[in-house]
Structure 1
């Protein structure tokens, strides 16, 4: 029997003028590292790294469920609205969590849509962070599929989402972690994956902002899996090349969800990314 060091709590913040009760988990101490989950999933994607004593010895790992995701309920009155994530609401939520937890310039680590928003922050609010780790991230990826399939009365959205993302998991991923990763998508609330993908596949505003990113002030490191069909190594390289001073690592045996699909394979890449960030402890 063992008890993991991860501690989960709730934080109430204001986003878009209304309260949001947000679930977050943390482990470790030292430099704060704020971790963002992918579309249609939740903080469980980060559990392996948050249980890594080598990482948490010097880093305070923090991950939270966006509203509508995991243990963060939708806002009051959600039944009367359509969930469509926007860049503005996403950024406002992240900033509210940072302020609510009193984090001083954390490292921001995000995967997929979390990596996309990390790059938006690098362009628009670099002063709030000490560095950026953008995982499976690129400037823009238009949908090559019909996102409406993930919220229809004649299809199970969670199973449809899991079917789509299964193609983005590396064949080298351990079978148990492959299915743990897919289970998160199967549990996704009605329309949530579709709403996240609306942001991911329709907002191309980052493209024009890449040149505004100053890596001299806040380093930017991109990590991408060779088995990622949604954000390919070519996509991430194109993006990294457009950011002066950005660095890039390609993971030969990983896919789109490296921290959950193959945590042992991802761990050295994440440790390397942390080493590229300023070594600073939170007060």
Structure 2
């Protein structure tokens, strides 16, 4: 796989498709890139899937400093490594944080930013909001429902190490979809792509750019699933309202993975945005 080096840290990436270049940054932090593979976009875009530092085949940061500014610097380094003047940048979830930070720090390298199921802050407030949505999910399920019990137990667990983190993530998957039971039969192969890297030296990375949204001058598309519990619609609307000229697409039949639940609607939204910019 192709890779580049920044300050002795090796970072890997994968290239699929053809057309205008769109760099895709996965979520997590630490979640491996294949879950974000977007074959529908690859038909018209050159999709460059980054394995962020501290993830998959890329190196861990020796100092454990995974700030958004550092992540954005790696994105900028990859764009320069590719020899592209400007690219589109699509960031999902935690990758959306990185995309927003990149739009502040390296706007000259971007044609446009797609902020996909994300928000403008990271920290305790995110977890508190997500837990309220977990409680709402549990309350809406039938009494004694095993999926509700599984999700609640997973959210309250305290995993240690990759195996426990991955088990927690797999057990939480039902709440990441609008209708997991309906979509699960066609997701068996996709669910096998879900993996995570855990760096025990990772330092806390509190982040909040809500006061700076008005500074973003890069064309921005915000995409959110109406049933997303962890990066919900209200946070997406906060982004769209705060970023000058930003547009918002709400996927009515999706949770946190619209490219999986509504791949055609997701594709169309991204390609319209690319065509405009």
TM-score bracket for this pair, using the shorter chain length: 0.7 to 0.9
Q: Contact 1:110/1:135 (CA < 8 Å) preserved in 2? A: yes
**Structure 1 residues 149 and 209: alpha-carbon distance in aligned structure 2, compared to 1, 3 A threshold:** same
Q: Contact 1:13/1:97 (CA < 8 Å) preserved in 2? A: no
Q: CA deviation at 1:183?
A: 4.0
Q: Contact 2:72/2:99 (CA < 8 Å) preserved in 1? A: no
Please name the residue that 2:245 is paired with: 245
Structure in which a larger fraction of residues adopt helix: 2
Please name the residue that 2:158 is paired with: 149
Please name the residue that 2:2 is paired with: 10
Q: Contact 2:73/2:102 (CA < 8 Å) preserved in 1? A: no
**Structure 1 residues 238 and 29: alpha-carbon distance in aligned structure 2, compared to 1, 3 A threshold:** same
**Structure 1 residues 61 and 120: alpha-carbon distance in aligned structure 2, compared to 1, 3 A threshold:** same
**Structure 1 residues 160 and 58: alpha-carbon distance in aligned structure 2, compared to 1, 3 A threshold:** closer
Q: Contact 1:112/1:137 (CA < 8 Å) preserved in 2? A: yes
Please name the residue that 2:216 is paired with: 213
The alignment partner of 1:277 has SS state of helix
Unmatched segments (≥5 aa) in structure 1: 1-8
Please name the residue that 2:22 is paired with: 33
Residue correspondence of structure 1 range 109-120 to structure 2 within 5 A: 109-120=90-101
Please name the residue that 2:135 is paired with: none
Please name the residue that 1:46 is paired with: 36
TM-score of the superposition, structure 2-length normalised? 0.77
Q: CA deviation at 1:67?
A: 2.4
Picking from 104, 109, 121, the partner of 1:140 is 121
Q: Does 1:224 align with 2:194?
A: no
**Structure 1 residues 268 and 244: alpha-carbon distance in aligned structure 2, compared to 1, 3 A threshold:** same
Please name the residue that 1:267 is paired with: 264
Distance in 1, Cα, partners of 2:183 & 2:176: 14
TM-score of the superposition, structure 1-length normalised? 0.76
Residue correspondence of structure 1 range 95-244 to structure 2 within 5 A: 95-141=76-122, 142-144=126-128, 149-151=158-160, 156-171=164-179, 174-176=183-185, 178-180=187-189, 182-185=191-194, 187-191=195-199, 195=202, 198-199=204-205, 202-204=206-208, 206-214=209-217, 218-244=218-244
Q: Contact 1:134/1:220 (CA < 8 Å) preserved in 2? A: yes
The total of aligned residue pairs comes to 247
Q: CA deviation at 1:147?
A: 9.5
Distance in 1, Cα, partners of 2:68 & 2:231: 19
**Structure 1 residues 166 and 184: alpha-carbon distance in aligned structure 2, compared to 1, 3 A threshold:** farther
